[in-house]
Amino acid sequence: MAVDTRRTLNGRSYREFFTPLFDEFLEEARSSDFDAEQYPPSLLRLFAIDGIQIVQHMRAEAAPEKLPDKIVEEIEKSECEDILEFLRYLETEKVKEENGEVAQYEMYDQPTDTISDMRQQVSLPTNLSRHVMDRYPEVLNFRMMLDGIDPEHRLMRMVGDQGQGKTWLLSIFQKMAEEKQMLCLRFDLSEPKEFEEILDEIWRRLETHNFPTYSLRRGTREQVEGKTPEMWRFELTKCFFTDWQAIKKSRLLVLLFDTFEHADPALKDWVENDFLERLKRVEQVIVVFGGRQWPKIRKDDYWHEHGYSFPLNGVRIEDYEQYAEQRGLRLEPEELTQLHQSMNGLPKLFAEFVEARLQGGV
């Protein structure tokens, strides 16, 4: 991206500003099916992206393309140092849409101007708060859903490579829900799971007597003779959700799914095409997915408008520095820079390093 007069955004070159997001996704696009929905909704809205294709060709440009002034102004106003931080800013700030309406969610009592200000507004479990390391946008949006401040959103998807903090964030979310005495179920999909196991856990947690039809069908414990696995899956799921929707006073239930990329193909298909489809009509539920792969959602689907998508990437060197200070470890600037570069900004690796250093191991 280039412009004729402006060469930097918040003190960084255009290439450096945009590289953190696009390099990762372009690399993934070359090796697998590419889905534009992997990008945060804010990016798609900001640049009016309807779809993305990867092509390999060369062409001469008559002149550099200009980044729209409106976008440049918004970036510079945010004071963000790269595209990832800016996308978090868009997802959490009180911003005006092009139609003049306020975004679907608002911050608590006062407008939030920067990411650092958000940190003062997020209350985390006491024994976990010091380990956040710049995952406040994700935690903040979950808290707003949990507290009922953001009823329009009931789904969150987080995707990132190993060490980006997906499992850790799900642990934070579970602790936050439990501290508010809310029902919470967490499923690790790296372990083999059938769709009945997920339904059964919800069934028991919401009390089996609230599911008379499902209880009757499930009581057989055997697939009905003559039905294919697909027919049995459809029928049992339909019974379950018919009962769930009929519950007049259902408690809020939080469902957390970890390592979604390891789910069996049949389970993935059920989650994406049946479970989430029926879950639209159940209001008292919040669902969070973590993994290296997004659960697929069509652009025109309900969840595309009523869910959050967060790509998790390496954190900034400032977050390393702040974390070390909070843990009582003093690091020289040169060592801090070397660690940040060698660890690619991964929060998990740095947290483990700090712990080892404090224990005298390194």
Query: What integer pLDDT is reported at residue 57 of this predicted model?
Result: 44
Burial tier of 166 (Cβ tally within 10 Å: 0-12, 13-18, 19+)? buried
* Domain residue spans of the chain: 1-103, 133-311, 314-362
Structure tokens at 94: 């009180």
Query: What integer pLDDT is reported at residue 62 of this predicted model?
Result: 45
The separation between the first and the last C-alpha atoms of the chain, rounded to the nearest angstrom, is 42
Contact between residue 156 and residue 287 where contact means Cβ atoms under 8 Å apart: yes
User: Which positions ≥6 away from 348 have C-beta within 8 Å?
Assistant: 162, 163, 164, 165, 168
Contact between residue 9 and residue 17 where contact means Cβ atoms under 8 Å apart: yes
Query: What integer pLDDT is reported at residue 263 of this predicted model?
Result: 93
Binned average pLDDT, 10 residues per bin, the chain of 362 residues: 56 74 57 57 62 50 56 76 73 41 33 51 61 77 89 92 88 92 94 93 94 85 69 92 90 94 93 94 94 85 89 87 88 93 89 88 64
Side-chain half-sphere exposure of 194, counting CA atoms within 13 A: 9
- d(CA 59, CA 65) in angstroms, rounded, equals 14
Q: Which stretches does DSSP call E strand in the chain?
A: 8-9, 12-13, 155-159, 183-188, 253-258, 285-291, 307-311
Q: Residue 162 CA to chain centroid, in angstroms?
A: 15
Cα-based distances in Å from 272 to 155, 289, 293: 13, 12, 12
Under CATH, to which class is 133-311 assigned?
alpha beta
Cα-based distances in Å from 108 to 140, 149, 182, 193, 310: 10, 8, 21, 39, 21
